[in-house]
């Protein structure tokens, strides 16, 4: 079942950018260095590192979902996520020739390896297959809205194109996990349980993954000793950049997608409240009490 009651922007993005693109399809020749902004370059570097980590997620998901069809879908999903990392990394290397995706990714991977990727467990850390898929839907809701926001925030033509292509992929990933969620033989989870999984996954955006990716993106290896990793500082700076990219409408879309995944009404009052709370959480984590009128749009 495809979620039908979500907004139109991702759907139209899907129409423009279909699945199965490659780096050769991107118009790299349109790159305009006069349109790049340093804070956006850091955000793109950090995103490239997180995306490029996808093979670890694929191994983990394949342990939890032993059936061949789901495993094949996860393999394909992982390839697309890795390509997102390569596309964003290539753009960042053009914007900052001192940046090298491979070297920076090696630093990131050395410092960030969550426990579930290191073991060989066949049970999801979310407690069930359905819980795992709700968690994946939350992540894809986040990435889909984030790349839509980057697409809307940048005037650099190549980044605009890459972000548009990736946002369309992320929306398709959300649909893949949503469909996988609803075809599990396990009984449906009670609503409160789904809510706990979703809120738990949103809260995990406070963990090391984003903060450490931001650190590796912002601090070159040569400056590591002078400027060591301080998680709280990096998390705050990372959220400051995220808040600079997001507009209120992107966060509302995120809330609608998560609501749909847990069986709530995407247009209902609870979803509106969740969107407002998420927007507030972003501001708090970025250390800002208020945002501009433009950001509220
Ligand atoms: Fe991605
Ligand atoms: Fe994705």
CATH number, domain at 198? 1.10.620.20
Does a structural domain hold residue 276? Answer: yes
The answer as to whether 291 is a domain residue is: no
Domain coverage including residue 99 = 9-16+36-285
Is 192 a member of any domain? yes
The beta strand positions in the chain, using DSSP E, are: none
CA of 143 to the centre of ligand 1 (A): 7
Contact residues for 155 (Cβ-Cβ < 8 A; gap 6+) = 35
Ligand number with the minimum distance to the CA of 136: 2
Q: How far is the CA of 263 from the centre of ligand 2 (A)?
A: 21
Give the number of the ligand closest to the Cα of residue 47: 1
Q: How far is the CA of 290 from the centre of ligand 2 (A)?
A: 30
Cα–Cα nearest to 45, from 213, 243, 221, 227? 213
**pLDDT at site 172:** 96
Q: Is residue 292 part of a domain?
A: no
Ligand 2 centroid vs 142 CA: distance in angstroms? 9
Q: Domain count for the chain, please give it.
A: 1
pLDDT tens by residue, the chain, 297 residues: 444 445 444 444 444 788 889 999 999 999 999 999 999 999 999 999 999 988 888 989 999 999 999 999 999 999 999 999 999 999 999 999 999 999 999 999 999 887 667 777 788 888 899 999 999 999 999 999 999 999 999 999 999 999 999 999 999 999 999 999 999 989 999 899 999 989 888 888 667 889 999 999 999 999 999 999 999 999 999 999 999 999 999 999 999 999 999 999 999 999 999 999 999 999 999 887 677 777 787
Instruction: Identify residues whose C-beta is under 5 A from ligand 2, the ion.
Output: 140, 170, 173
Ligand 1 mean position to 226 CA, how many Å? 32
Residues of 157-180 as b/e, b for ≥16 C-beta within 10 angstroms? ebbbbbbbbbbbbbbbbbbbbbeb
Ligand 1 center from residue 13 Cα (angstroms): 15
Query: CA angle, 261 as apex, 211 and 263 as ends, to 5°?
Result: 140
Distances (CA, A) of 192 to 65, 141, 196, 272: 24, 20, 6, 18
* pLDDT confidence of residue 272: 95
Residue 74 Cα, ligand 2 centroid: separation in angstroms?
A: 11
Q: Could you list which residues have their CB under 5 Å from ion ligand 1?
A: 51, 81, 84
- Distance from residue 170's CA to the centre of ligand 2 (Å): 4
288: region left, alpha or beta (phi > 0 left; psi from -120 to 50 alpha): beta
Q: Is residue 26 part of a domain?
A: no
Q: Is residue 31 part of a domain?
A: no
Instruction: Determine the pLDDT at residue 124.
Output: 86
Of 168, 142, 150, nearest in space to 80 by CA:
168
Q: Which DSSP letter does residue 189 get?
A: P
Judge whether 89 lies within some domain: yes
pLDDT at 292: 78
pLDDT for 80: 96
CA of 225 to the centre of ligand 1 (A): 31
Q: What's this model's pTM, rounded to 2 decimal places?
A: 0.91
| CA quadruple 200, 265, 172, 209: dihedral, nearest 10 | -20
Q: Which residues contact 18 (CB under 8 A, 6 or more apart)?
A: 168
For residue 3, being part of any structural domain is answered with no
197: its two tokens: 């999984």
Ligand 2 center to residue 105 CA distance, Å?
A: 18
Q: Which tokens go with 6?
A: 């979500």
User: How remote is the CA of residue 18 from the centroid of ligand 2, in Å?
Assistant: 14
Distance 168 CA to ligand 2 centre (A): 9
């Amino acid at each position: 079942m495809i979620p039908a009651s979500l907004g139109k922007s991702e759907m139209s993005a899907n129409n423009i950018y279909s699945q199965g693109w490659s780096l050769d399809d991107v118009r790299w020749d349109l790159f305009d260095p006069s349109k790049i902004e340093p804070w956006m370059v850091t955000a793109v570097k950090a995103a490239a590192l997180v995306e490029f980590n996808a093979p670890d997620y694929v191994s983990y998901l394949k342990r939890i979902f032993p059936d061949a069809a789901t495993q094949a879908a996860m393999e394909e999903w992982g390839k697309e996520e890795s390509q997102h990392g390569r596309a964003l990394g290539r753009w960042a290397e053009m914007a900052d020739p001192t940046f090298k995706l491979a070297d920076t990714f090696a630093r990131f991977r050395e410092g960030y390896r969550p426990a579930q990727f290191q073991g060989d467990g066949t049970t999801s850390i979310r407690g069930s297959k359905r819980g795992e898929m709700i968690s994946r839907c939350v992540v894809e809701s986040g990435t889909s809205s984030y790349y839509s926001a980057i697409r809307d925030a940048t005037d650099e033509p190549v980044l605009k194109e890459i972000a548009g292509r990736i946002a369309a992929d992320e929306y398709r990933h959300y649909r893949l996990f949503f469909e996988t969620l609803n075809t599990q033989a396990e009984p449906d989870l009670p609503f409160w349980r789904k809510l706990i999984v979703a809120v738990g996954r949103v809260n995990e955006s406070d963990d090391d993954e984003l903060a450490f990716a931001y650190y590796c993106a912002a601090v070159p290896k040569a400056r590591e000793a002078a400027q060591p990793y301080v998680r709280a500082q990096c998390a705050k700076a990372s959220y400051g950049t995220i808040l600079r990219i997001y507009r209120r409408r992107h966060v509302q879309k995120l809330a609608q997608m998560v609501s749909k995944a847990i069986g709530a009404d995407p247009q209902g009052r609870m979803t509106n409240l969740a969107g407002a709370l998420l927007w507030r959480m972003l501001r708090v984590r970025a250390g800002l009490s208020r945002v501009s009128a433009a950001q509220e749009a």
